[in-house]
Chains A and B, each alone.
Chain A
Amino acid sequence: MRILAFILLFFSSVSVLLAQPSGNALREFELGTETYREGNYESALEHFQKAAEQAGGFALEYNLANSFFKLNQIPECILHYERALKYEPSNEDALYNLQLANDLIVDRIETLPRSKLNRWWRSFRFGMGPSAWTWLSIVFSLGCAALFFLFYVSNGIGWKRFGFFGGIIFLIATGLTYGLAQSAYAFRTASKSAIVFTDKVDVKSEPRDQAIQVFVLHTGSKVSLLGEEGEWVEIEIASGSRGWMLRTDLNEI
């Protein structure tokens, strides 16, 4: 009886999590795609932004980025492509468009090309999003419990062996999928990098105004976030140079 209650509680909470975004967001999204098709990018952008108030996802971020690109707002465009890539890190279209957008900014950003294996691994790890790994870990956990139960209950030596080793394998798989779910969740939610939104930013050696200027960044450049100190953040650029700049000059991805 207790078990049944558990299962009921479990599925009821899961059904809440599986809920679709509101119809309003869906409608705005569709209006956005329609106006984009007609070439009315301002209106498309407005609709996508309304949809983004309630919903998320790769397609929405990608479409937002496209609209910004068409309106020649390159830093916003790059920000949203980067956000879209958090949903699908190896999406060819987003990577291609991002490259075109990066060609339009002042600072040349040298990104090392990733190997095929690395790209595959990234899309395997992060491409399905955290929820897929979450579900898999639950399935493995259930399977593991069932197999150990079989091990205890059964009399035949074959069944016992099957239950024991199967249970061990499923226990390991549960741990692995939990780890993957956690890393995918961190990849999706934590912001480790940001886009510069100010036309010209003097990057300082220390977190104060009078510090020595180390280098200059321009709008649209991508920086990694290392640490923070009040309203200052420590950043690193692709070449490895580090410095401090004001948080207000950045938008986190």
Chain B
Amino acid sequence: MKKTGRHILLCGFLSLALGAVNAQETRFFMTVNKNQVVLNDNFQVRITFENGRGNVEPIDFSAFQVIAGPNLSTASQIIQGAVSTNYTMTYFLRPIKTGKFTLGPAKTVINGKNYATEAIVVEVLSGGSTSQQSPQSGGTSNYTQQPSADKNVQIIIELSKRKVYIGEQITARYVLLTRYRNLEATDTRYPTLPGFWSEEIKNDQSTWEPNLEMVNGVAYRKAYLKTQILFPQRAGTSKLEPIEFTCRVDRSLFNPGTEIKVKSNAPSIEVLAFPTGSPKGFDGAVGNLNFSATVSRTEVKVNEAIDLKINVSGSGNLTLIGAPKMEFPPDFEVYDPEIKDRISINAGGVNGTRSFQYLIIPRYPGSYEIPEMNFVWFNPAKAAYESVRQGPYTIQVTGEAGQGAIAGQTRARNKVSQSAQDIRYIYTDSQSLEVKNAYFFGSVTYYTALGSPLLLLMLVLFVRRRRDSMAQNTSLVRRRGANKMAKGRLKSAKKALDHSDDKLFYAEVFKALYGYLSDKLNIPLSHLTRPTILKALQDQNVDSTLSGRLQGALDTCEMARFAPVTDVQSNSFYGETVTLIEKLESNLK
């Protein structure tokens, strides 16, 4: 009961605070400290007057036993000279039977004006089932209860609308209601919003709302955790995920408090598709909008700038509106539009103006036209498409091309960009066709062709060399034969020379020469005389020096028969005779 008393004090304090805020306003209301009561448990009903006093019509408490009351309490407060009074009647009741019972509404007349409270439904549960209304229940059972079942902390998603068109804005507010005095939010998981574009309203810190929120007669403190503006992006019914909120309550120096986890409701939103037959130029703009366009000048000189300003204003999905498609004359140099937003986002929605500012510079003189602009949007309030046309604007450009401040500056040119990829075209020249798998390389013909020149060369060289060597050989053999033959004929002469028998030597040489000439010239020895020898040699075209040398050798032999000669002379004569016979041999046939 001590705890309950504390809460009464708390309630009183809250009431005072309320009185302070609405100092001059008269208010009349009824509260209960819990609206789910277990049989045989007490609860309180309080009827409060603020800044006024009247008689309360008796309330039907027949379903309850009145344990005590009405207890009366009065409080007054002066804030900045304004006096506020607070008068409270408190009943302590105990339920008699289970079921749902309606209290009130309480009615009164204050200063001739009728006031009525809201009716409060109290549910009476059979004994011992739960003790949900924990803080006032007098026990410590609240520390063991299921967190999600705690009705003293509630999270609610409030939606401004439940049935909207695509792109129509919905204000979603995430509300925290609590009856705990001391609450610390530790974790808040906001739902992801698939299918919605959201704009968040900037809110530095959640604060408690000044007024208590009455839910079925129970007063809750209220705070807006977050406010968002939602723009649905696709048609169909979508259900928002609940918020998961974790908080710690009743934390104090000696008490770690209790952690409570709460899940919010999960409201569903029905999103309607746009009506069929959207007009040309509709690009998804939704809201209560307006459209305007202005051109700064319509008569300019070449290279002077023109401003084209397009404004979309009103309430709607302004932040999603893109620049309207414009077709400017090709001789205009147009820069990308500058987008300026003056948009406020608050609980009332997204309002303001989005403007697109084009900077246009005509580069050539002439008369040009900026074509008509048609802005189409969907107005969900009227469930109809609306449109505004602006323009066309005729621009007169004077002067000469290339003049002015930016003369000489080249025009920006479009890059040729590839929009789609495809393979390159086929080859159509049939001349490049080849016979299949016919390769010259590796064939016998190829190797023949490759090797034959070199083989041929070798063959030619071999034949030449052979012929050369054979020719050389015959003369060599003949020379060698002649030498042998001469030495053979001079064999006995050589023997005589070795025995130093000079006379015999010269006689033998003489005999050998005659014998050789007889053989060679086919003249019998008996007919062989100096004149016949000379004639025969002449017939065979032996040159005169050789025959002269032969004559000389024969003379020497004849002379040596009569006059003695030295060994040295004999030796050299032998050699001379050998070469003489060799020479003759090669000259005679």
* Interface flag for B437 (CB, 8 Å): yes
The yes or no answer to A226 lying at the interface (CB within 8 A) is no
Q: Say how far B419's CB is from chain A's closest CB, in angstroms.
A: 15
A100 touches B421 (CB 8 A): yes
Residues of B within 8 A of A181 (CB): 441
Interface status of B256 (Cβ within 8 A of chain A):
no
Is A60's CB within 8 Å of the partner chain B? Answer: yes
By a CB distance below 8 angstroms, the chain B residues around A58 are 427, 432
B residues 57-74 in Cβ contact with A at 8 Å:
none
Cβ-defined contact, B453 with A14, below 8 A: no
A17 touches B438 (CB 8 A): yes
Q: Closest A residue to B437 by CB, please name it.
A: A56
Inter-chain CA distance A142–B436, complex, in Å, is 29
Q: Is the CB of B457 within 8 A of A21?
A: no
Are B424 and A96 closer than 8 Å at their CB atoms? yes
Binds A, one of B264-272, B444-452, B554-562: B444-452
Do the beta carbons of A54 and B423 come within 8 Å of each other? no
State the CA gap A70–B425 with chains docked (Å).
Answer: 11
Does B410 sit at the interface, judged by CB under 8 A? no
How long is the Cα–Cα vector from A197 to B465 in the complex, in angstroms? Answer: 65
Q: Is the CB of B460 within 8 A of A185?
A: no
> In whole angstroms, what is the CA distance A146 to B457 when docked?
8
Least distance between A1 CB and chain B CB atoms (Å) = 13
Q: B433, A130: Cβ atoms under 8 Å?
A: no
Contacts of B428 in A (CB 8 A): 33, 59
What separation, in Å, do the CA atoms of A58 and B428 have in the docked complex? 11
**What is the CA–CA distance of A33 and B450 in the complex, to the nearest angstrom?**
39
Chain A residues, CB < 8 A from B460: 149
B423 to chain A, nearest CB (A): 4
Shortest distance between the CB of B134 and any CB in chain A (Å): 61
In the complex, residue of chain B having the shortest beta-carbon distance to the beta carbon of A65? B423
B453: contacting residue among A17, A26, A142, A188, CB under 8 A: A142
Stretch in A131-139, A154-162, A202-210 with 4+ CB within 8 Å of B: A131-139
CA–CA, A62 and B433, complex, Å? 12
Task: Please measure, in the bound complex, the distance between the C-alpha atom of A97 and the C-alpha atom of B421, giving whole angstroms.
Answer: 10
Chain A residues whose CB sits within 8 angstroms of the CB of B253 once the complex forms:
none
Contact indicator A93/B424 (Cβ below 8 Å): yes
Given A57-B433, A97-B423, A131 and B452 contact (CB-CB distance below 8 Å) = no
How far does the alpha carbon of A131 sit from the alpha carbon of B442 in the complex, in Å?
10
Measured between beta carbons, the chain A residues less than 8 angstroms from B1 are none
| Residues in chain A near residue B461, CB distance under 8 A | 152
| CB pair B424 A10 closer than 8 Å | no
Complex partner residue of A10 from B423, B425, B434, B448, CB under 8 angstroms: B448
B433 contacts A21, C-beta separation under 8 Å: yes
B443 close to A (CB within 8 Å)? yes
In-complex Cβ contact of B454 among A52, A56, A131, A144 (8 A): A144
**Does any Cβ of A come within 8 Å of B426's Cβ?**
yes
- Confirm or deny: A178 has a beta carbon within 8 angstroms of a beta carbon on chain B: yes
Annotate A67-85 by CB proximity to B: 1 below 8 A, 0 otherwise: 1011000000000000000
Given contacts A30-B430, A185-B442, 20 further A-B contacts (CB under 8 A): A13-B443, A14-B449, A20-B433, A21-B433, A54-B435, A59-B427, A59-B430, A59-B432, A97-B423, A97-B424, A100-B421, A100-B423, A134-B441, A134-B446, A138-B446, A141-B450, A145-B453, A152-B461, A182-B441, A189-B439
- 9 A-B pairs with CB atoms under 8 Å apart are A17-B443, A25-B433, A56-B436, A59-B430, A62-B426, A63-B426, A70-B423, A93-B424, A178-B450
Measured CB to CB, the residues of A under 8 A from B are: 3, 6, 9-10, 13-14, 17, 19-21, 25-26, 29-30, 33, 36, 51-60, 62-63, 66-67, 69-70, 93, 96-97, 100-101, 130-131, 133-135, 137-138, 141-142, 144-146, 148-149, 152, 174, 178, 181-182, 184-185, 188-189
Q: Which A-B residue pairs are the 8 nearest by beta carbons?
A: A145-B453, A59-B427, A13-B445, A97-B423, A145-B457, A63-B426, A57-B434, A55-B433
